[in-house]
Amino acid sequence: MAASSFRDLRVWQEAMKLTAEIYKSTLVFPKHELYGLTQQIRRAAVSVPSNIAEGKGHRSDKEFVPFLLRARGSLLELQAQLLISEELQYVRQEEARRLLTLAEGVAVP
């Protein structure tokens, strides 16, 4: 049985959890990054569940696929930004690994 709403999709649910965790984790980023990396990483995170939801609103799987690909691109962008955040020591290694594991959970079918 196909999911009737984007809210029923496991991938959307996992993406929402990831997005909430990203917002919590970026609260401790330096203030000078508020309009830089903080905003960029949050935007990438929000893009993942947003594209999944938007794509689910289309009438066919063929129309849904491009939105899933955009969500995947945003997820990869987010992963790169988490690695940058770790490198800059804005986030502890353990926290970065935890978030990257959550991101990998979104990517797994």
Q: Which residues have CB under 8 Å from 3's CB, separation 6+?
A: 9, 56
Alpha-carbon span 1 to 93, nearest angstrom: 41
Q: Classify burial at 94, counting beta carbons within 10 Å of its beta carbon; exposed 0-12, middle 13-18, buried 19 or more.
A: exposed
Q: How many angstroms separate the CA atoms of 27 and 4, rounded?
A: 35
Q: Would you state the pLDDT for residue 2? A: 55
- pTM higher than 0.85: yes
Supply the pLDDT for residue 17: 98
pLDDT tens string, the chain, 109 residues long: the values are 355 899 999 999 999 999 999 999 999 999 999 999 999 999 999 999 999 999 999 889 999 999 999 999 999 999 999 999 999 999 999 999 999 999 999 987 6
> Which CATH number among 2.40.110.10, 3.40.309.10, 2.40.37.20, 1.20.1440.60 corresponds to the domain 20-107?
1.20.1440.60
The DSSP code for 109 is -
